[in-house]
Amino acid sequence: MGSIETTKVAGYGSLEGKVALVTGSGRGIGRGIALELAKRGASVVINYAASSKPAQEAVKEIESTGSKGIAIQGDMTKVADIRRVFKEAIDHFGRLDIVMSNSGTESFKKEEDVTEEDYDKVFALNTRAQFFVAQEALKTLENGGRIILMSSVAATMSGVPNHALYAGSKAAVEGFVRSFSVDCGPKSITVNGIAPGGVKTDMFDENSWHYAPGGMYLFLCLWHISSCFSSRPNSSESGAIVAYLQCFSAKLC
């Protein structure tokens, strides 16, 4: 894990006094999002399914910014765990203002070889879990809260073989965002989805060869050809987008 800038952000964009829950935030994009929120002053709940050590390390990074953080174990595929994590977060901090549903997994398999177990595993975490996290957030957040769900460019892109499970699981999330936006309106809770592309994380590094036969090297070459930017996005940039969606100026987004 490389070093991450931990300078706190003040003034415009400050989240001082806010409390955020980020699911699946012991590593990868979730960890980057959690740290970006902490840099803006938010207290952050790190959620992890099984690996305690990375989650505790993430808490230390949060505390290094001057913000408060705790780690709470919970398997987001289990509704009882979702409810418990929300309760423990509120018991600790007294409130929740921001819920970022980030937990997810990826699957590449020939469509004719996909099993029921494969289907259930992907949709349980990428789709079902996000619905019930959003549901619990709707029940729990006060007026003016923020809900963000994790989609992917895969929800709308084409041309990637053996990707139906993952793409379908993320497309459903975009439907959730549009519908929950209506249902959360009476409480002035905004609901948004973010759809990152090839963000540099350990999960993507493990799967890059599925996107390009030459693995990470060829993927990076293709990225430089197709993107107007010279570098590939990292998790902190996803975090900056999430942080913007918490600002007052994003209240109608």
Active site residues: 151-152, 166, 170
C-alpha gyration radius of the chain: 18
Q: How many angstroms separate the CA atoms of 111 and 251, rounded?
A: 41
Q: Is 112 strand, coil or helix?
A: helix
Q: Which pair of tokens denotes residue 4?
A: 């991450």
> For residue 84, which amino acid is it?
R
- How does DSSP classify residue 126? I
CA angle at residue 104 from 235 to 147, to 5 degrees?
Answer: 75
Q: In the block, which residue shows the tokens 């965002």?
A: 177
> Nearest CA to 247 among 41, 90, 1, 22?
41
3-state DSSP helix/strand/coil % of the chain, to nearest 5: 50, 10, 40
Nearest to 187 by CA among 234, 114, 251, 111: 251
